[in-house]
Amino acid sequence: MKILVPVKRVIDYNVKVRVKPDQSGVELANVKMAMNPFDEIAVEQALRIKEAGQAEEVVLVSVGPQQSQETIRTGLAMGADRGIHIEAGQDVEPLAVAKLLTAVVGKENPSLVLCGKQAIDDDSNQTAQMLSALLGWSQATFASGVELAGDKANIIREVDGGLEHIEVSMPAVISVDLRLNEPRYASLPNIMKAKKKPIDSLSVDELGVDISPRLTVLKVEEPEARQAGIKVESISELVDKLKNEAKVI
């Protein structure tokens, strides 16, 4: 079995995001970038499935500029076998990414696609669902437990009322949640080995996908600064302020 894992290059989660002065987007120049944390969890799960003898190959695919190959190298250092880089010089919206991944699935013919449930830059949470619809495959979202059994996958997903257990048929698209696992650190020997692992480059034109944007960003603003709290002298004063000023009771 082959597992395909899409990975995205995003601003490192430890970095404070700054809005551009012209409010056209967020500042990316001289900003530390990293693999999307949810995608990192998907890579880890794919590697665990392979180590359990249930898969033969883990292939990473990333859509973006040339620097996206660094993100792929990170996954290769964790233990993935090879990578595919789809060169795109602009921000690619979830539907376009899903169409590009559909084309890659047609070339690679994997049995399972493991995705992060969302990217921390746009928080769209759409690509996995769109990919499943385009492929006509089973889907399971927000997985906090994944177990393969033959041509079935048993998924545990968190819902408002607790945990939901579902079974889907393979091939399938599964998007993973934070509680699924703890991604491993890449060892120095594996980092060195990753430099020799192959990364194939594909262009958008080769895949025959139109990635023209369908959305227009009008303006990006920082959230309002949080105001300092106040101290009250009595419970009656607290109730009065909650009722008449905050209007929450």
> The CATH number of the domain where 198 resides is what?
3.40.50.620
Q: Which domain holds residue 175?
A: 2-244
Q: What is the pLDDT of residue 217?
A: 86
Each of the 249 residues of the chain gets a pLDDT tens digit; together they read 999 999 999 999 898 888 888 988 888 888 899 999 999 999 999 999 999 999 999 999 999 999 999 999 999 999 999 999 999 876 889 999 999 999 999 999 999 999 999 999 888 999 999 999 999 999 999 999 999 998 999 999 988 888 999 999 999 999 999 989 999 998 899 999 999 999 999 999 889 898 888 888 888 888 888 888 888 889 999 999 888 888 888
pTM: 0.85
The pLDDT of residue 160 is 86
- Domain count along the chain: 1
What per-residue confidence (pLDDT) applies to 59?
Answer: 96
pLDDT of 201: 93
**pLDDT given at position 3:** 95
- The tokens of 160 are what? 């408002």
Q: What value, to the nearest 5°, has the Cα angle with vertex 184 and ends 180 and 188?
A: 165
Residue 89: inside a domain: yes
pLDDT value, residue 194: 92
Task: State both tokens at 168.
Answer: 């889907």
Residue 67 covered by a domain: yes
Domain contains 205: yes
Q: Which pLDDT value is given to residue 176?
A: 95
Coil, helix or strand at residue 166:
strand
With respect to residue 217, please indicate whether it lies within any of the assigned structural domains. yes
Instruction: Judge residue 26's burial from the number of C-beta atoms within 10 Å of its C-beta, 0-12 exposed, 13-18 middle, 19 or more buried.
Output: middle
